[in-house]
Structure 1
Amino acid sequence: MTHTPAPTALKAKHRALWALGDYPDVAATVIPDLGQALVEACTVSEGDRVLDVAAGSGNASVPAALAGAEVTASDLTPELLEAGRARAEADGVSLTWEVGDAEALPYPDASFDVVMSCVGVMFAPFHRVAAGELLRVARPGARIGLLSWTPDGFIGRMFATMKPYAPPPPEGAQPPPLWGDETHVRELLGEGVADLSAVRRTVTVDGFATPEAFRDYFKACYGPTIATYRGLDQDRAAALDEDLATLARGFDEGGGVMRWEYLLVTTRRA
Structure 2
Amino acid sequence: MTGTMPDIQTIKDGMRKTWMAGDFGEVAKFIQHHADDFIANRHITPGLRLLDVACGTGNLAIPAARAGASVTGIDIADNLIEQARSRARAEGLDIRFEVGDAENLALPDASFDAVVSMYGAMFAPRPEYAAAELVRVCRPGGTIAMANWMPETFIGEMFKVVGRHAPPPEGVPSPALWGDPATVRERLREGITELRTSPVTVIFEYPFSVPEVVEFHRQFFGPIERAWARLEDDGREALRQDLEAHWSRHNEATDGSTRVEAQYLEVVATRATS
Unaligned runs of 5+ in 2: 1-6
Q: CA deviation at 1:195?
A: 2.5
Q: Which residue in 2 is equivalent to 1:11?
A: 12
Contact 2:19 2:222 in 1 (8 A): yes
Q: Summarize the alignment of residues 198-217 of structure 1 with structure 2, pairs less than 5 Å apart.
A: 198-217=197-216
Q: CA deviation at 1:108?
A: 1.4
Q: Deviation per CA, 1:9-29, whole angstroms, max 9, x where unpaired? A: 32222111101111011111x
Contact 1:52 1:73 in 2 (8 A): yes
Describe the SS at the equivalent of 1:33.
helix
| In structure 2, distance between residues paired with 1:251 and 1:235 | 25
Q: Deviation per CA, 1:99-138, whole angstroms, max 9, x where unpaired? A: 1100001011111100010110011011111101101111
Identical-pair percentage: 39
Code of the residue aligned with 1:17 in structure 2: it is T
Code of the residue aligned with 1:146 in structure 2: it is M
Code of the residue aligned with 2:10 in structure 1: it is A
Describe the SS at the equivalent of 1:106.
coil
Code of the residue aligned with 2:67 in structure 1: it is A
Q: CA deviation at 1:254?
A: 2.4
Consecutive aligned runs of 4 or more in structure 1 exceeding 4 Å deviation: none
Change (3 A) 1:223 1:267: same
TM-score, normalized by length of structure 1?
A: 0.94
Q: CA deviation at 1:166?
A: 1.2
Q: Deviation per CA, 1:185-212, whole angstroms, max 9, x where unpaired? A: 1111014222322111111122153221
Code of the residue aligned with 1:264 in structure 2: it is E
Q: CA deviation at 1:246?
A: 0.4
Describe the SS at the equivalent of 2:107.
coil
Q: CA deviation at 1:86?
A: 1.1
| In structure 2, distance between residues paired with 1:265 and 1:59 | 18
Q: CA deviation at 1:170?
A: 4.2
How many residue pairs get matched? 263
Unaligned runs of 5+ in 1: 1-5
Q: Which residue in 2 is equivalent to 1:250?
A: 249
TM-score, normalized by length of structure 2?
A: 0.92
Contact 2:11 2:169 in 1 (8 A): no
- The answer to whether 1:114 aligns with 2:120 is no
Q: Which residue in 1 is equivalent to 2:21?
A: 20
Root mean square deviation of aligned Cα? 1.3
